[in-house]
Structure 1
């Protein structure tokens, strides 16, 4: 109980103690109840022979109520009536507080006890009224003091119930704070996932208390954006290597996507991005990612948990460290297979002057070069995206659109705003058509994550 609560209860307890001491002292000084409803005032010179201590002889006993001397100095009927009335009202207040306290959570026994007290006090009030009307009130000082004691006890009980109610509210607020803190942590993670920032400055992290049941398409969509950022960085690195090797980028773009007219010269990079996406996402729709000898649990929930555990484990580690610790893991096999398919021997020979990277991978080792490190980061994020997609209750399914398909904003978005503007200007001549898919799209239950496409910018022959 805090200081504020103590200060609220202490005065009532002090008054209760004072009234009770006054009552006991009265009985000790007289030995019996006041005779004929008459109480005399003890003066300091009076002798007391019933066992009082020496210092008690100088006490001057004064009741809290004013004594109106009317002949025999008996208590006025109004004084006693008010004392008993206040006592009953305080008791009713305490019983009503008890009744409220017992309603939530429901306490049948507590409600019944409070109801009995209320009924009893109402009956006492009715009897008190009748006694006053009939002039049959007990006008003794003892009755008045007992009523005051009853009033103070009721007040103490009321404060105790208030304290219990406040303690219960504190516990409820503490549980609400804990629940809101968990929601805040989950919301903060989702906000970090959805926050758009530069590739180098955005760090992706998973809260420690994230649960499998909390995953949804929002997490997948945010991680997809995170993955595409790494993929585009690899494409830029690959194009830089091609330029350093004096490759004909236009011829390479035509070899990947023939017959496409680009609005700008640097739009040819979308062809290379399309090539990388096709190779890296190939087999994404299968739980094993088309890896050889990859066995998975048949039971759905166990499989979801397996993919989620893989996601959490690899997400918190460096990809190179993971490969060194377990070079025969499914992720290690994935990296080898995808590198061999994505980087043609002639391309590697042009980039490096030899086939050392390929030879190291075939030997079960992993190269320690900048180019392979960028590839490894991209491969890690695509692998994690696959794990996240199969951790969902409704697995993420991948899709892309073919050349010549009509552009639809329901399923697609363009990678270049200027080409969409050009296509809008030609809308009277022909419908907007897809030249090729750059980044595939995904479906999760009823949610569609748009695929990114490059549109045709001239009327097909």
Structure 2
């Protein structure tokens, strides 16, 4: 027998199954949506995200503006650089860069006012940083070019000044050479032995002192370059002297003997001389250079005199200190002629002193040399003060000779004054120029 169920019970059962399916579908849909990364934000989160984006956009805008300003500065620097020297292409390129950047900034301003900024913050900031760095690099390159141009200009000025200095030195040397040349001896060209007088000797003496001073200046420069203590050297030679010329004493030694007594024959004096022979020798020597003479007369008395005086004046320790070796000394000792400026100056000095003695031996009256002793009383008849000041009676005390700078000469009754440094009695240092 079948059991008959009521219809209401069947409907209720079907509705329950349907509701359960709907719940299951919604649950599965929620899981699928969650697994796909879809989230539903509430209104508060939406407002916060919008504010953060606005701030990011503003930061990007400011970064873009700063990058634009840097670009304009770089273009302006390039514009200035192109003015000197004038470069039309660079000027136009820099001008166009300024115009383009101003237009871009103007467009940003328009978009900002209309609130129509369409910027990707991250990309915009990154591009702005790249643009700013490129502009800075360009500015630095322009600055480097500008500094390099200044360096080149200064180097050109230095080269020009060096050339000017070289020209001045060459001109001074040419003047000095003219002063020391035979042209200064025009008064001796047609001079005869019978017309010789003390004025001729004094004139040539002044000329002979020039190469002496030139050599002493060169020697002092070499001492300074070798870091010598000049004050200590001066005090060793002449205690309490402020300045000295050590060659003045030794270069004239032996002047009272023919050929400066290079053979050490003390018995030979001026009165045994042949005047005309020495006068002709003097006239021949005055037109030659020491190198020319030594080339043709390597074993002459002058060659022996030059060798003896160099070895006497320039000590071996001094030469080694000044030049780092004894090459010049060895060459001179073996009869050679060093080509150095130092020895050339020394040879010129010795040549003039040698010629001066030849002239002295040409006089009928004997010409003798004298040197004033240290601490001797100053006398204007025999002495001349090298300070250039008046050496009359001093209110501070009595004047005494510090040392002789240039010896004096006697020619009969004529006296050529000795040049001396003087000091006051009781004074710790002599007068100086």
TM-score, normalised to structure 1, is 0.51
Counterpart of 2:346?
375
Change in Cα spacing, 1:379 to 1:279, as seen in structure 2 (3 Å) is same
Count the aligned residue pairs.
250
Q: Which residue of 1 aligns with 2:248?
A: 277
Looking at structure 1, the residues matched to 366 and 284 of structure 2 have their Cα atoms a distance apart, in angstroms, of 20
Task: State the partner residue of 2:240.
Answer: 259
User: Deviation at 1:241?
Assistant: 0.5
* Match of residue 356, structure 1, among 304, 327, 340: 327
Q: 2:204 aligns with which of 217, 220, 223?
A: 223
- The structure 1 residue matched to 2:376, chosen from 405, 416, 429, is 405
Partner of 1:168: none
- SS at structure 2 position matched to 1:339: helix
**Could you tell me which residue of structure 2 aligns to residue 417 of structure 1?**
388
Contact persistence 2:275–2:364 (CA under 8 A): yes
TM-score, structure 2 normalization? 0.54
Residue 395 in 1 paired to residue 362 in 2? no
Q: Is the 8 A contact 2:377 2:400 kept in 1?
A: yes
Task: Provide the residue aligned with 1:265 in structure 2.
Answer: none
Distance 1:456 1:301, change over 3 A: closer
Q: Residue 459 of structure 1: which of 418, 426, 431 is its match?
A: 426
1:239 maps onto 2:220 in alignment = yes
1:229-275 alpha-carbon deviations (Å, 9 max, x no partner): 11111100000000011000000000110133x4xxxxx1xx1x2x2
Corresponding residue for residue 437 of structure 1: 404
Give how far 1:346 is off: 0.7
The whole-number CA distance in structure 1 between the counterparts of 2:261 and 2:387 is 32
Residue 448 of structure 1: aligned partner:
415
Compute the RMSD of aligned alpha carbons: 2.5
**Alpha-carbon deviation of 1:429?**
4.4
Helix, strand or coil: the match of 2:350? helix
Please tell me whether Structure 1 or Structure 2 has the larger radius of gyration of its CA atoms: 2
Deviation string, structure 1 residues 175-234 (Cα, Å, up to 9, x no partner):
xxxxxxxxxxxxxxxxxxxxxxx8554242254432211111111001111111111111
* Alpha-carbon distance, 1:458 to partner: 5.9
Shift of 1:295: 12
CA deviations over 1:97-131 (Å, ceiling 9, x no partner): xxxxxxxxxxxxxxxxxxxxxxxxxxxxxxxxxxx
Give 1:296 shift. Answer: 11
Q: Which runs of 5+ in 2 are unaligned?
A: 1-174, 429-433
CA 1:331–1:299 in structure 2 vs 1: closer, same or farther (change >3 Å)? Answer: closer
| 8 Å contact from structure 1 (residues 294, 330) kept in 2 | no
Distance in 1 of aligned mates of 2:292 and 2:259: 22
Q: List aligned pairs for 1:40-439, cutoff 5 A.
A: 199-202=176-179, 203-206=183-186, 207-260=188-241, 262=242, 268=243, 271=244, 273=245, 275-292=246-263, 303-418=274-389, 420=390, 427-439=394-406
Q: In the TM superposition, what is the alpha-carbon distance from 1:309 to its structure 2 partner?
A: 2.0
Q: Secondary structure at the match of 1:452?
A: strand
**2: CA distance between counterparts of 1:259 and 1:208?**
45
Give the 3 Å change call, closer, same or farther, for CA 400–452 of structure 1 in structure 2: same
Aligned-partner SS, 2:214: helix
